[in-house]
Amino acid sequence: MPSDLTFRLLADDERDLWDAFAAAHPRSDFAQAWDWGRMKAEGEWSVVRAGLFGADGLVAGAQILTRPLPYLGGRLAYASRGPLTDLETVDGAGQRAALFDGLEAWCRGQGAVCLKVDPCITAEHDRFLRVCGARPAPVENPDFGGTQPKYVMRLDLSAGLDRVMAGFKPDYRNRIRKSERRGVTVRRAESTDDWRVWYDLLLGTADRQHFRVRAFSYFESIRTHLQGACQAWLLVAEREGRQVGGILCLRYGQTVWYLYGAMNEEGREHYSGYLLQWDAMQRAVAEGCGMYDFRGVAPFDREDSPHFGLNRFKSGFGPAEVEWVGEWDLVFSPWRYQAFNFLLPRARALVPRLKALLRRGRG
């Protein structure tokens, strides 16, 4: 490690230091926010923030989640949407080498089988991950790309709202205006009851569109934890006093991310989904944000994907298509790594078959 760089873990009272660095980083993501890590640590994960310090203070780092691996011993380490360092230029070689050396030493000391990373860089820069010793991770769902979405859509808000709306499809602009004329209004959720009503709508949406939804406790945790540097916005659409839809967004640094949307039949009939997205963009600009991230979509060339409807809806707002580099692993225990990625999934898949065979045998 260069003599002018020091690797260490951040203390609990360095939260503001971390968020000031992570929120301003060019590859910032809410998954690296201090409070996001604190929220994840309420479950099976533990969390630390590791930083690389130079003469100018904190210059690179990663928020790392760890959890025990069942049956295998050791731990899984995951720097979700990290690490935050220069992974795109030759000039960053010294900094990233020092950071990765520090991360590897810490992870090995914790008995980690591997460190999983998925930074917000595009695929043409994967050579820098290879130089740092990482390899592409096995992915169960190529449509999604990993734990975090690989294929996303992002809308640049920096040109101003007039230019942003001019980039929408004409029928999208018309539907926003129709929604307003039909009496749909949008406000930010104020109470737990607002969140519960929205959650019921989300369950109905999930049932129609065949996707799984986390328990309400997950969203309650988002509501209570993410009110500081990383903020949760639940925007609810109402018509004649009834909640007809809503979207959950997160704001961190200069970006707002759209996470979940829910709608009932009345909301769909009166185009509240379009108005909700427009309202979120307006709020983002008012807060000084320059980017609106629609998050995950299907691979851009996979029109046969069951998730391609997301592409059709989100593309109408004029965002850019972005393919992130995806998940990469630094492997510290090769045999445990192979077992975790290949043997355990196959063993889990066999369990239902064995149970069925046993039931037949008893019959």
Co-location of 22 and 121 in the same domain: yes
Q: What average pLDDT score do residues 52-72 get?
A: 94
Cβ contact 115:332 at 8 Å: yes
Co-location of 177 and 281 in the same domain: yes
Q: Residue 354 has what pLDDT?
A: 47
Co-location of 83 and 177 in the same domain: no
What pLDDT digit, counting tens, does each position of 235-279 carry? 999 999 999 999 999 999 999 999 999 999 999 999 999 999 999
Co-location of 239 and 274 in the same domain: yes
In a domain, 182, yes or no: yes
Co-location of 125 and 188 in the same domain: no
Element at 155 (helix H, strand E): strand 151-156
Q: Residue 26 has what pLDDT?
A: 96
The number of C-alpha atoms within 13 Å of 222 and in the hemisphere containing its C-beta is 21
- Residue that is written with structure tokens 């002018």 in the block: 4
In a domain, 151, yes or no: no
In terms of average pLDDT, the best of 32-36, 123-127, 143-147 is 32-36
Q: What average pLDDT score do residues 191-202 get?
A: 97
In a domain, 257, yes or no: yes
According to DSSP, residue 324 is labeled B
In a domain, 294, yes or no: no
3-state secondary structure at position 189: coil
Co-location of 134 and 182 in the same domain: no
For every residue of 40-90, which 3-state class applies, written as one string? HCCCCCEEEEEEEEECCEEEEEEEEEEEECCCCCCEEEEECCCCECCCCCH
Q: What is the CATH number of the domain that holds 11?
A: 3.40.630.30
> Alpha carbon 241 to chain centroid distance?
32
pTM for this structure?
Answer: 0.92
Co-location of 257 and 329 in the same domain: no
Which residue stretches of 83-155 are H helix? 93-109, 126-131
In a domain, 95, yes or no: yes
In a domain, 152, yes or no: no
Q: Residue 96 has what pLDDT?
A: 95
pLDDT band, residue 346 (cuts 50/70/90): low
What pLDDT digit, counting tens, does each position of 130-168 carry? 999 999 999 877 777 789 999 999 999 999 999 999 999
Q: Residue 42 has what pLDDT?
A: 94
Co-location of 15 and 100 in the same domain: yes
Co-location of 229 and 116 in the same domain: no
What pLDDT digit, counting tens, does each position of 212-232 carry? 899 999 999 999 999 999 999
**Tokens at 100, concatenated:** 């990765």
Task: Indicate the residue among 231, 264, 289 that finishes a domain.
Answer: 289
Co-location of 164 and 271 in the same domain: yes
> At residue 1, does pLDDT exceed 80?
no
In a domain, 311, yes or no: no
Co-location of 10 and 138 in the same domain: yes
The residue ranges of DSSP E strands in 253-300, in sequence order, are: 255-263, 291-296
Give the mean pLDDT of the chain: 93
Co-location of 135 and 171 in the same domain: no
Which domain, by its residues, includes 115? 6-142+325-355
In a domain, 316, yes or no: no
Please give the tally of structural domains in the chain.
2
Q: Residue 306 has what pLDDT?
A: 86
Q: Which residues of 303-342 are buried (b: 16+ CB within 10 A; e: fewer)?
A: eebebbebbebbbbbbbeebebbbbbbbbbbeebbebbbe
